[in-house]
Structure 1
């Protein structure tokens, strides 16, 4: 799931990756909103809130949303730098290793949140989750050549609409039927990813209501288990050089 990259991946691997990580992202996003009223992965909403607060002169409140956006970008930046360095060194398990780090950081974040004062831990939780969501989104964007985006629900919903329109055109005889398989494959990917994000959100809130901030640590453990499985598989593959 976290080894093959780009054209070496098939639609089954893309779906497996998308559904698993989208469920985790949806759970984290919904649980954080349920707890503190912020979305850590919704950069469209956060930038809109930032612009609204700036327009009203509420600069102090706006800085909080700006910090979320910056943390998300920082996560994507760090993820890309580490992945590119790993690929240059021929480390085939680099994606899995970054996911393992994400899982470990998420476990640490959950434990710190439990140890800190509730109010004092809010900025850490939001900025930390935003950073990790940016890191994760960069991972899946790189490994799938941008076919998969685990937190970009608005973009996936747009792609679903486009795919449905093309299917309707086929039924009407206005499009090539030879494109049907590719369109259906993309629709299955995007619809499944959105539904996984939704289901993950439901389970994330239920888990948070059941065990509180420990739910963030549990999510990190799930990511770590998935990453370790891929790393174990990579040991059976030869390391390769990648000069990109």
Structure 2
């Protein structure tokens, strides 16, 4: 739940900041499939290629996260496997913030490039959270989450489902992610009013908190495992 809340908060920040700066959503690609088809139907091949590249960047980000985690098993520590996607996401968002501050000329090509960088970052985050949670948590878009919430609410019309702890816990998790995403969006919107492009730096700060929390959580689990192993051996 904490992982979902933190990552959803950062995704909400990035999405609102990107809409404010670039007038483009970057935390999901559902609409871009429709835009891609629309551009092709109009014969706008360049625009269609750009949208296709955005979709591929989100895909590559998700692929890399899961690839690193899978390939890292048995080769390096679990923390390193989790940290690599977070570091890549951190660098992508930091790059966008720095470029906006020092190089941005407000051209269409620059905008397309920076939107692609943010989509890559969100793909990394979505792939990471999905891999860690066994596909339970996806924090960069809320379409499926809203559907799952609606299904759960309908299931709670029966008493036995309301007494099902697994269903109740899932409902709380999804609700937490939804509110965290909205809170992140509000924070990102207000942050841009007061800090401008510095909002992207604030998002990087959130990612550092996620990395440190993950390090703490993995270390705590290892300590609990060692303690239980010692207790079993002593018996």
Matched ranges for 1:16-31 at <5 A: 16-31=2-17
Correspondence 1:1-244 to 2 at 5 A = 15-93=1-79, 94-120=81-107, 121-168=110-157, 170-171=158-159, 176-177=160-161, 180-231=164-215, 234=218, 237=222
Q: Is the 8 A contact 2:192 2:198 kept in 1?
A: yes
User: RMSD value over aligned CA atoms?
Assistant: 2.1
Structure with bigger helix share is 2
CA displacement, residues 58-86 of structure 1 (integer Å, 9 cap, x when unaligned): 22222222121111011112222222222
SS at match of 1:125: helix
Q: CA deviation at 1:235?
A: 5.6
Output one character per residue of 1:191-230: Cα deviation in whole Å (capped at 9) or x when no partner. 2111211111111111122222221122112212331343
**Structure 1 residues 55 and 186: CA distance shift in structure 2, 3 A:** same
Question: Which runs of 5 or more structure 2 residues have no equivalent in the other structure?
Answer: 224-235
Describe the SS at the equivalent of 1:88. coil
1:138-189 superposed Cα distances (whole Å, 9 cap, x missing partner)? 1001100011000130000010011011001x14xxxx44862221111111
TM-score norm. by structure 2 comes to 0.85
2:156 alignment partner, SS class = helix
